[in-house]
Amino acid sequence: MRLGVLDVGSNTVHLLVVDAHPGACPLPAHSHKAELRLAQLLDEDGAIGPEGVDKLIAVIHDALQAAEDKGVEDLLPFATSAVREASNADEVLARVQRETGVELQVLAGAEEARLTFLAARRWFGWSAGKLLVLDIGGGSLEIAYGIDEQPDAAVSLPLGAGRLTAARLPGDPPTPDAVRALRRHVRAEIARTVGEFSRFGAPDHVVATSKTFKQLARIAGAARSTDGLYVQRELKRESLEAWVPRLAGMTVAQRAELPGVSEGRAGQLLAGALVAEGVMDLLGAESVEICPWALREGVILRRLDHMGSA
């Protein structure tokens, strides 16, 4: 059957259409995305304002039309941290359902981490052993660890690249003091959770997902996305540590000229790099392998599992 996943994230609203059936690898058929940056549309009270909700509804209407055009039989709509943490989340969800007919499932942070872990496990297989999976979104950082398909530990921290950029990195480029303050904040947040993972021992394989990690790997020399899904891509902490001060001294326009960095993501790349560097350092990861699958694929795989057991 043809499935669609509608992901209302902190940076983008992304419709992924796949051809799938239980026991088979989901095959991408179509991708439709719009940059909305919900995490940056929150007002002083932490609410998504009327203009932001209007934009969200318009984008969802476009995604629904794309899903219909591509023959989607079953749509799986969900929202992550930007909607989850909005002070008016209930009102936003109700208006979306009323005006679009879409009932967004709001994923808890730990559930995001578990679904992303499932996707990474299926991608790398059982031979990867104990997996540590890292994911940097626009609103949050997810970390999960385990040897099975369900992780033994899964946490979500408010350390998304878009959130941190908007709240803590004014200026273009930001001042050295602002960068140092953000670095301290990121590491203090991550350090509180290290014990939840270190008690399980060292992982056999450290994996990273998300656009942020993919872009950081690309500027550090990893293969281009056009080289295909199955090319191994790695990001070494040593390379990342060398890039962080360079990114800190660049303007947004200069970052956008780096290989693999989109104009829309260039502004939050420095915050993402500080989070990536911090989590790799504090969890003892010398390198990470980039996983092409992440949360959306995890949602699809869970749906297929439920279909297969029905």
**Residue-wise pLDDT tens digits, 40-88:** 777 888 899 888 999 999 999 999 999 999 999 999 999 998 899 999 9
Q: Is the pLDDT of residue 255 over 70?
A: yes
Question: What local confidence, expressed as pLDDT, does residue 41 receive?
Answer: 77
Say how far apart CA 207 and CA 290 lie, in whole Å: 6
Beta bridge partners of 209: 135
pLDDT-derived band of residue 136, with 50, 70 and 90 as boundaries? very high
- What's the pTM? 0.94
Q: Please give the pLDDT value at position 228.
A: 87
* Confidence band of 308 (pLDDT split at 50, 70, 90): low
Q: Which pLDDT does position 200 carry in this prediction?
A: 94
| % the chain with pLDDT above 90 | 84
Please say if the pLDDT value at position 230 is more than 60: yes
- pLDDT, one tens digit per residue, over 13-40 is 999 999 988 888 899 999 999 988 887 7
pLDDT given for residue 91 in this prediction? 96
Q: What is the pLDDT of residue 11?
A: 85
Average pLDDT, the chain: 94
Percent residues over pLDDT 70 in the chain: 99
Q: Which of 33, 34, 50, 31 is nearest to 42 (CA)?
A: 50
Residue 309 has pLDDT above 90, yes or no: no
Q: What is the mean pLDDT of residues 152-162?
A: 96
Asked if residue 310 has pLDDT above 60, the reply is: no
Residue pair 21/301 in contact by the 8 Å Cβ criterion: no
Q: d(Cα 104, Cα 106) in Å, to the nearest integer? A: 6
